[in-house]
Amino acid sequence: MSEQSYINQKVPEQLSIQQVAFLRPFIWLAYAWQDLIRHPIASLAYGFAVSALLLVIFFVTSLNIYVIVASISGFMLIGPIMAAGLCELSRRNENDEAVGFDESIDGLQHCQSSLTRFAGILLGFSALWFLLSGLVLSLTVGDIAPPLDQTMWGNFLTLVTPSQLLLYAIVGGILACIAFVVSVVSVPAIIDNSLSSADAMAVSFKATLDNLPTMLVWAFLIVLLSAVGFVTFLIGMIIIYPLLGHATWHAYRDMVKNQT
């Protein structure tokens, strides 16, 4: 199905989109913190897993700034699908069901097909960004990637012009915006209603359009907290990733109501 078809897809009749307050994302994070402290072992297991995965990626690609930048950006794009288990933990906690890491995995079996298709879509975004970021960086700093220790932070900025940085930001920003719009509540919508990936993306698209100022705040918080996770050498990500995953569930519960 084409991107335009996803955009034109109608929100399922049993669901309605609610408008929420501008600063509501801070409440989602507060609820997420409550979820995390209620079942810390299961929640932090996801944080440890994600941090370990990113550490392996950074270790393998530690001499190539292109791959590192693309990997970080790719993680930001596919992060929502990796948080499916955290959304399931929050759903179970809300419904007084058994809460644990194994239960959060088993609870996703009923919507495995839709989640797999949605994961494929996000992986497509990530692969596209990986290719485009490599192309943009190659055009801006040359064909041979400089060593990481010569390109981190300020030194990297000396190798590129402001216009080159702007081009890189525009390319990444466009893909990130598209991915955010179609994924902001897609995973919890699939889990809670057994929706198809197309229907879930339509719900997410409509929720974003109807709550645009709120979504701008939420996107800013996601980027800010993720940045904290990375600059703390992924130690902070152990807590931040579960926090964002649980908050995604509460964002969905606030903005999407089931009429049945």
**pLDDT 10s digit of each residue in the chain, 260 long?**
444 444 456 788 889 999 999 999 999 999 999 999 999 999 999 999 999 988 887 887 665 666 666 667 677 777 888 899 999 999 999 999 999 999 999 999 999 999 999 999 988 887 787 777 667 766 665 555 555 444 444 455 555 667 766 777 788 788 889 989 999 999 999 999 999 999 999 999 999 999 999 999 999 999 999 999 989 989 999 999 999 999 999 999 999 998 76
pTM of the model: 0.85
Cα–Cα nearest to 184, from 116, 93, 254: 254
The pLDDT value given to residue 33: 98
Q: How far apart are CA 12 and CA 177, in angstroms?
A: 23
The pLDDT value given to residue 152: 43
The pLDDT value given to residue 137: 65
The pLDDT value given to residue 148: 47
The pLDDT value given to residue 153: 42
Q: How far apart are CA 254 and CA 19, in angstroms?
A: 8
User: Contact 188/87 with Cβ under 8 angstroms?
Assistant: yes
Angle at which helix 237-255 crosses helix 24-38, to 10 degrees, equals: 120
Average pLDDT, whole number, for the chain? 85
